[in-house]
Amino acid sequence: MTLTKPQRVPAPGLPARVHVYEVGARDGLQNERQVVPTEVKAEFVERLVAAGLRTVEATSFVPASWVPQLSDAEDLVGRLPTVEGVRFPVLVPNVKGLQRALDSGVTDVAVFASATETFSQRNLNRSVAESLEMFAPVIETARSAGAGVRAYVSMVCGDPWEGAVPIEQVTAVATRLRQLGAQQVCLGDTIGAGTPGHVRALVRSLVAAGLPVEDVAVHFHDTYGQALANVLAALEEGVTTVDSSAGGLGGCPYAESATGNLATEDLVWQLDGLGIETGVDLHALVRTSLWMAGELGRPSPSRTVQALATSVGAAA
């Protein structure tokens, strides 16, 4: 018989509540080869919100030639539900993308910087310094318009072209983004190479550099099976915002070694077992991921989705 929920055994020193930052609709779908219809994306977002997720990163306002899957950004944003307390951030690469987002009524945006030169060139066709110069007016304009701003820093635990990434290098990029006005900085382990000790050192370095731990988020990929261990290490350091993707969807189109994101269901199972509140209905979320797996024509890689599939049942 399959257990449908974990036994709650709280651990000392952990936050009472964690904010789950859902990235499935954007980071999860952006690497799909088949184009997902806009109406399916909209229903996906609606189901995620109905499952209790309060932040759902919806799409990215990038040129269609960069990520064809997200070429329907304006259309999708126009279909998003209006739910009190729910935010739908979008990724913007530059001022032009930001203006498109603001014109569409978006109230929260994110920029995507790199801690390494090679990935910055591959992803943005700019050096790290040039990318930060590009983001300065984006962040300033967004803040002036009253929008919330998150800044991702990618490749924080390793780079497939450059190898090890010095912690001080990550800290320098993160603190500069904070100085430019980003309200939250998210550490992205883009290729999933991080381990708990590394994560602890990264968070401590950012805090020592002046970033309040409550404004630090983490984004782990599970390439080497370390994502949940890394989440626990981050929580023990005081981090309370964790990114994840429903069903474990996603990867990075500019880093082929980046496999799926941490599955939201796996994260919620762990947090629930630790007695940490998330506000997420795990069974509703599993049904959502089973439904999306059907739309994509393949099973979800999430261990929790697989374990609960029979007992929870797919949504119609």
3-state helix, strand and coil shares in percent for the chain, rounded to the nearest 5: 45, 15, 40
| 280 found inside a domain | yes
Task: Output the CA angle 183-53-223, nearest 5 degrees.
Answer: 80
What is the predicted pLDDT for the residue at 65?
86
- Nearest CA to 109 among 119, 99, 117? 99
- Tell me what the mean pLDDT of segment 195-209 comes to: 98
Q: Which of the four pLDDT bands, split at 50, 70 and 90, describes residue 250?
A: confident
Question: Whole-model pTM?
Answer: 0.95
| 2 found inside a domain | no
Q: Which of the four pLDDT bands, split at 50, 70 and 90, describes residue 316?
A: very low
Whether the pLDDT of residue 228 is over 60: the answer is yes
User: What is the DSSP track for 176-203?
Assistant: HHHHHT-SEEEEEETTS---HHHHHHHH
| 203 found inside a domain | yes
| 12 found inside a domain | no
Instruction: Provide the sign of the torsion angle of the four alpha carbons 291, 295, 300, 306, taken in this order.
Output: positive
Left, alpha or beta for 178 (phi > 0: left; psi -120 to 50: alpha)? alpha
CATH of the domain at 51: 3.20.20.70
Q: Which of the four pLDDT bands, split at 50, 70 and 90, describes residue 85?
A: very high
Range of the domain at 270: 19-312
| Rounded Cα distance, 94 and 238, in Å | 31
pLDDT: which is higher, 259 or 53: 53
Of the candidates 101, 185, 218, 252, the residue annotated as catalytic is 252
Domain count, the chain: 1
Is-contact 60 70, C-beta < 8 A? yes
CB environment 147-172: b (16+ within 10 A), e (fewer): bbbbbbbbbbbbbbeeeebebebbbb
What is the predicted pLDDT for the residue at 41?
98
| 26 found inside a domain | yes
pLDDT: which is higher, 1 or 264: 264
| 8 found inside a domain | no
- Which residues are bridge partners to 9 per DSSP? none
252 is catalytic: yes
- Tell me what the mean pLDDT of segment 24-28 comes to: 95
Q: Which of the four pLDDT bands, split at 50, 70 and 90, describes residue 103?
A: very high
